[in-house]
Amino acid sequence: MSELLLKAVLGRVEGSRSSSRLRNDEGLVPASLYGKGMEPISLAVDARELNALVGHRKVVGSIVEIDLGGETKSTLVKEIQRHPVRRNLLHIDFQLLSADQQVTVTVALVAGEGVNLNVGQVELSGSTSSIPVNIEITADQLVDGQLVASGLILPKGVKLASDPDAVVAVTSEVVASE
Residue 175 predicted with pLDDT over 60: no
- Say which CATH topology domain 5-96 has: Ribosomal Protein L25; Chain P (2.40.240)
Q: Domain residue spans in the chain?
A: 5-96, 102-170
Residue 151 has a CB neighbour count (10 Å cut-off) of 16
- pLDDT-based confidence at 34, cuts 50/70/90? very high
Q: List the alpha helices (DSSP H) in 32-98.
A: 47-54
Task: Please say if the pLDDT value at position 176 is more than 50.
Answer: no
CATH of 102-170, one of 1.10.287.1060, 3.40.50.300, 2.170.120.20, 3.40.47.10: 2.170.120.20
Q: How would residue 129 be classed by pLDDT, with cut points 50, 70 and 90? A: confident
Q: Please check the confidence at residue 24 and state whether its pLDDT lies above 60.
A: no
pLDDT tens column, 130-156:
888 889 999 899 888 899 999 999 999
Question: What pLDDT score was predicted for residue 154?
Answer: 93
CA gap 130, 4 in Å, rounded:
15
**CATH topology identical between 5-96 and 102-170:** no
